[in-house]
Structure formats: C-alpha cells, structure tokens
Structure 1
Amino acid sequence: MLLTLALLSAIAPLATDMYLPGLPRLGEDLGTSTSTVQLTLTTFMAGLGIGQLIVGPLSDGWGRRRLLLGGTVAFAVSGVLCAVAPSAGVLIAARLLQGLSGGAAIVLARAVIADRARGDAAAKLFSIMMIIGGVAPVVAPIAGGALLGPIGWRGIFWVLAAAGVVMVVGVLTLVPETLAPERRHGGGLSALARNTRYALGNRRFVGYAATFVFGFGALFSYISASPFVLQDVLGLTYGQFSIAFGVNSIGIVLGSIVNTRLIGRFHARQMLTFGVLLLTAAGLALVLEVTVGGTDRVVVLPLLFVMTSAIGFVMGNATALGQSQVPDAAGTGSAVMGAGQFGLAALVSPLVGGSAAGMATSILVCAVIALLSLLTLTRPPAQGVDAPAEPAQVAAG
C-alpha cells in the first residue's frame, strides 16, 4: 500500500521531468514554437493545482477510494492521448487532463496516510514519501534521456500511461477505503471557500504561503527553461542534460537532509530565512553571469546547483510554518499553498521562454518576492508562536 501511495505522490515529477529532455525534439516534430511547447508544461502544472484544490475537499465527503480510482484511470488514459497526439493543441489538452488526474492522485495519497496514521507514525510515513518524492526528479530526467533515443518523446508518454495502469492495479488491490462514512462531512467546495477566506485573512499564513509559492516559482523557472538553456545555449547533449538535471535535483535532496539535521539547533524560520537569502544570492549571480559574464557552463551549472540546494531549505520550512498559522483549516491551507504553487508554475513557464536571461531573471524576481513576503508579512517568532512543534513537522516534511 505504501509503495502504491509513493508512486501516486511521485507521479508529478515523473510526468514533468521524464519528457523534459525531449522538449526541443517535440517542438520540431509537431512544427511548433518553443513557447507553445512550454504550454504543455503550463497546462500540466495548472491541472495539478486545480486537481488538488477540487478533489481534496470533495474526498472529505465522498471518500478516498472512488476518487483515487477515477484519478488513476484518467491518468492512464491521458498518457495514451499524449502519446498519440497529432498536434500541439491536442497534446496541450491531454496534458491538462494528465495534470488534473495527477493532482487528484497527489492530494488523495496524502489523505489516505492521514486517515490511517497519527503522530510519530504519520510523520514516519510522510518522511518516506518525501524521500521518494525527492528521488523521483533525480531518476526521471535520466530515464527520459536514456529512453528518448530508442523510443522518442511519444514513447515516454506510453511509459507514463503504463505507470498509470500500474497505479490503477495498485489502488484496486492494495488501497482500501480509509475514510469511514461516519467521519465524512458535507460542504465540499463551499467549505473550501469558507476555510480559504479564513486562511487568507491570516497575514502570517499569507506571508509563509507566498514564500513557499514564489520559492517554487524560482525552481520552476529553472525547470521549464532548462532543456533549452542547457542544450541550446550551453551546448549539452540530451544525455548530458539529463545528468546535469539529475545532479541539480540531488541538490534539493541534500539541502532537505541538511535542513532536517539542523532543525532543533536552529528555528525553522531561521532556516527558511537562510534558504531564501541563498536562493536570492544565486539568482543575482545567475543574472550577472548571463548578462555580463558570457554564460559559461563552468559558472552557470554550479550556480544552478546552489539554487536548487537552497530550495531544500525553503519548501519544507515554509510549509510547516504556514500550516501552523491555520490549525483549524490545515487541509485547506495545504490546498491553497499547493494550488498557488502549481498555479504560479503554470504562469512562469511561458514567460520564461528558452533564454538564459529569461530563466535567470525569473529566478531572481521570484526569489526577491519570496524574501520580501517573508520579511514584511511575517515577524520573527515570539514565545508561543511558531513554537517547538514546527521542527518535528519540518523534519517530517
């Protein structure tokens, strides 16, 4: 059951990163522009956000298993539609469906664990899920680069469709209904709207949520532009790109591990501040390099590793601190942060384009907004505020 849930939680990075090495070739095959190709990322990320925002509250009233089964079936079907898409327009629509179903899988996988475990047991399970989620972005582009030559970008979507079938079988055989009828409650989207107003009325929550969302925006600025910048500008082959992308993904994992080890010695807000400052510094250095330094791969690649490593100090801490501000609507707070995360990613992708300057500028702008949100909308923790509960939450997440 845990392995099935882990695959569900890892489906977003798999569906995002596996086909990244093939984006330039995809554009050539479909006879379309770089901006149009990047819309396949935009619609997928938008679908991830919308899917989580809708399906999470609905599952509180309808139960988990039916929605989870429907979501996994839809993901498998969307993979087939992507693989046979005759045009960019059809591919964009299929990627939207893939994002909606993937978002449902992510939010329901978390809900199933929350239904079955509490306290330390839940923290341990979520930690395992986060480790797998961190490994997936490392493996996915390497696998995509290895598969691109033999089977092409269409073959990669067939692989994702097969992963969807595996998820369907796993849900059918290994994942029972975990939300008993007596624990279900109505409200659905109306409850979401009410709790969303409550969360957005909390200034500190908004500050931490904005830090989380724009921190991810900086990361996605790199993700969406990296196939073009690393291959077309820096001259890497798609195999070398896959390796470089995987190494940078390891930076996120290493940053998260260091962050977990230091929580307890330092408060989560201190670690978050460090991460955002490091992210801003890396963004500024990238802008200087691509505008006046000549865009040398010897400089750009290490700076990208520093940037992704900084993300390991941002995402978990911002999530835990933000959730602590809305204890009466923690599920909705999580949905709001998730929807904002992928919603911004959907906007960033077409704006960045395929240039090194566009990527670096977007990283810096997102990092600066994250820093300003942290410094102006939140205050240093006082006694009893953001208190010692957060370190355990951050270590788990």
Structure 2
Amino acid sequence: MSERRTTLLGALLTAIGPVSMAIYTPAMPELVHAFGTTEAAVKLSLSLYFGGFAVAQLVAGPVSDAFGRRSASIGFLLIYLVGSLMAALAPTIDWILAGRLVQGIGASVGMTVARAAVRDQFTGVEASRIMNMIGIILAIGPALGPSMGGLALSAFGWKSIFLLMILFGLVILTSCILLLRETAVPDRSRLRPITLLSTYAMLLADPRFLFPSLVLGGAIGALYAQGTMLPFVMIGVVGMTPTQFGLGMLMQTGSYLTGSVLLRLISTRLGGPASVAIGLVCSGVGGTMMLLSVLLLPPSFLSIMVPVGVSTFGIAFITPHIVTAGLAPFPKMAGSASALMGFIQMGGGFAGGLIAAAFASPLTSIGIIIPAMEYIAIGSYLTYRFVSRRP
C-alpha cells in the first residue's frame, strides 16, 4: 500500500481503542445512577475493557501473522461490534461489564495490525514519519470523543454512547474491507503454542524490545490509567457536568495534537533519541506537577488538566521513535512483537486502573499513580540507552 493509505488505515485502526474509551468516560458517573450500582463497578467496566484489549493482543498479533493482517482485522472488528451491541442493549450492569470486555477483545486488533503493517512495508525514517502522522490523525478522534460522548449523553442518554461506537466500528470495518491490502506473508506455524510461547519469551528476553515497551507501558499506560480516574475527579470532585468534562478533555488531546504537529516540523533536525528525551522530560515534569498539585492546591480544572496536558504533549514526542526502534529488529514476527508491545502498553493502563480502584479518593489515586508511571517510563528509557551502548 502507499504511505498515505497505510497512514489513513493505520490511524483508523489505532483509533478504535482510544475512541472507545474517550466516548465512554463521560457516561461513567451516569451509569452509576442508571443501574443503581457503585463507582467501583463502573470503574471495573473500563478495567475489563483494558484487560480484554491487553490480553487479546497476544492472540491478535499471532493471528495476523498466521492468517494475514486483513483477515485478522475483519474478524476482530466483528467481535468489537458484537460487544458494542451487547452494551447498547444491556438490561443490567453485568451486561455492560461483559460488553466492554468483548469490545476490548475486538478492538485489540487495531493497534497491533496498524504497527505491524507499517513494519511490513517501511523502516527507519519512513516508518517514524508514518507513526508520527498516525498520531496527528489519531488525535482528532480522542479529541472529539469526550465532547461527542458528553453531548450525546445529555441529549439521548447513555445508550447513545454505545450506538456511536457501533457506527465507528462499521466505518472502520468497511474501510478495511474496501481499502486494506495484505502486507504480510501468512504463516500458520505462528499459531502453534510452542512457537507462540517461544516467540514471546525471546522478545521479553531481548532488551532491544523489552525496555522500549516498558517506556510505552509507563508513559502511554499513564494516559490510559488516568482515563479511569479523570471522570470521577473532574465530575465528582471538581464539580463539572459530563458535557463540560467532555469539552474540557479537548485540552488533553489538543496537547497531543500540538506535540505531534511540532514533532513533524522539527523531527528531521532533531532525530529520534533527542525527540524521546524531550518527550520524557515533559512526561516527568507533568507527573511531578500532578503530584504537587494534588498535595498543595485545591482541586480545579487547571490544577488537574495542566499537568495532564504537559504529560500528553510529551507522549507525542515519545511514541514514533520508540515504536519504530522496538519493532525494527523483528521483521519476521512483526505481528507478535507489535502485539506484545501493545499488551505491555495497555497492561500498564490496566494495572494503573486496578490500583486506582483500591484508593478511596480518586484525587489521591491520580496524584500518586500517574507520577509513578511517568517515572517508570523515564527509568526504562535510561536503561534502554545504557544497554544499547553495549556490544
């Protein structure tokens, strides 16, 4: 496929995971009242989505290696639509939990196939350029997601949230059927249990893969983890309405879009390692600001969202080079490597969300968990740079 088509399809596939979270988050406090349940139960719905997304990637990657990127995408997107329909028709909170789990399983193919398809066709500067452009396009979906979710919730109720997801899933499925071309040579042996386990063991033992993945697990995992906390902080503690929260989240995605556009303008002069260093400085500063704001300032929109914006700006500088560097040494197992990288990335968000559920105060959880995850990302990159210098 051309660079442009790969970028467009990659952005759509990658977006299905974040958009399904961004549209959903404004409805979380409303679901507590709609089903007469607890905040912990509704938070569990997002954790199950993360868990399904993270674990299913370990299957989606090898499936795309075994049967091809196109067949895997179509199959998993159909699973996503089934999960969306289950949630839209849910009579109880248990059906919401099950639907979100199935949604996460279906959405897992997006990030895995997008990154693998780029690695199948492009390397080096070209691959980083495509990943950067995917990030720019990707920013639009999560930017509109909370706003669309908040407006739909106010106008039509919580069911409309899942109807939006069904519509989005149909758009991506149609695009894959019409536009996605096969970029890999299918190899059914990749699905053999012994081959699968040995592949993942080899990847985890290789510092060229492990530490870039841990960078993403800390930095992007923090972004996903705070998605489970922000609705309850901004709506429950700060006092915003769901619509105000949805519009306020434009600050987060605007920061990511600004960082992605700026990186595209200066990346040729900056270089990959320098861009990652800048990104991690921003992530560390944002995490420290979050810690200090929770400890020292009364909670407000700016005291929470300014640190979020600084950290998110840094993620745009981190992702393109780290993803490219982590996948480059493994061309024959790009699907599996992409899947395991995504598992570690989403697993970070899942773990952060689970830990947050143990805190009585969402404000305390966001002030402790997010900085810790940013510091993990920084430490992982420093270790990666150290081991990369060894023969």
What is the TM-score when the length of structure 2 is the normalising length? Answer: 0.87
Could you tell me the percent identity over the aligned residues? 26
Note the C-alpha offset of 1:49: 1.9
Note the C-alpha offset of 1:146: 1.3
Q: What SS does the aligned partner of 1:187 have?
A: helix
Cα 1:269–1:328 change in 2 (3 A) is: farther
**1:364 equivalent among 364, 368, 371:** 371
**Any conservation in 2 of the 1:204–1:378 contact (CA below 8 Å)?**
no
Q: Which position in structure 1 is the counterpart of 2:72?
A: 67
Q: Which position in structure 1 is the counterpart of 2:263?
A: 259
Q: What SS does the aligned partner of 1:186 have?
A: helix
Note the C-alpha offset of 1:250: 1.3
Bigger mean CA deviation after superposition, 75-84 or 61-70: 61-70
Structure 1 moving runs of 4+ over 6 Å: 120-124
Count residues in correspondence.
Answer: 381
CA distance in 2, matches of 1:209, 1:178: 23
CA distance in 1, matches of 2:74, 2:327: 28
Q: What SS does the aligned partner of 2:299 have?
A: coil
Cα 1:217–1:65 change in 2 (3 A) is: closer
Cα 1:114–1:315 change in 2 (3 A) is: closer
Q: Which position in structure 2 is the counterpart of 1:319?
A: 323
**Any conservation in 2 of the 1:43–1:92 contact (CA below 8 Å)?**
yes
Q: Which position in structure 2 is the counterpart of 1:150?
A: 155
Deviations 1:252-301, CA, capped at 9 Å, x for gaps: 12122223333343342233233223222222222222122222434333
Q: What SS does the aligned partner of 2:44 have?
A: helix
What is the TM-score when the length of structure 1 is the normalising length? Answer: 0.86
CA distance in 1, matches of 2:332, 2:79: 32
Q: What SS does the aligned partner of 2:239 have?
A: coil
Note the C-alpha offset of 1:236: 1.8
CA distance in 1, matches of 2:223, 2:296: 23
Q: Report the residue type matching 2:165 in the other structure.
A: L
Bigger mean CA deviation after superposition, 314-323 or 338-347: 314-323
**1:309 equivalent among 307, 313, 318:** 313
Q: What SS does the aligned partner of 2:91 have?
A: coil
- Which runs of structure 2 are paired with 1:44-123 in the superposition (5 Å)? 44-111=49-116, 117-118=121-122
Deviations 1:150-200, CA, capped at 9 Å, x for gaps: 1112111022123333344444444455556xx535232543322222222
Note the C-alpha offset of 1:208: 2.1
CA distance in 1, matches of 2:304, 2:277: 24
Q: Report the residue type matching 1:55 in the other structure.
A: A
Note the C-alpha offset of 1:26: 0.8
Give unmatched runs, 5+ long, in structure 2: none
**Any conservation in 1 of the 2:119–2:331 contact (CA below 8 Å)?**
no
Note the C-alpha offset of 1:366: 0.6
CA distance in 2, matches of 1:122, 1:247: 28
Q: Report the residue type matching 2:254 in the other structure.
A: I
Cα 1:293–1:139 change in 2 (3 A) is: same
CA distance in 2, matches of 1:75, 1:286: 34
CA distance in 2, matches of 1:206, 1:179: 24
CA distance in 2, matches of 1:308, 1:69: 31
| Correspondence 1:202 to 2:206 | yes
CA distance in 2, matches of 1:280, 1:301: 15
| Correspondence 1:346 to 2:350 | yes
Cα 1:352–1:380 change in 2 (3 A) is: same
**Any conservation in 1 of the 2:225–2:348 contact (CA below 8 Å)?**
no
Note the C-alpha offset of 1:322: 2.5
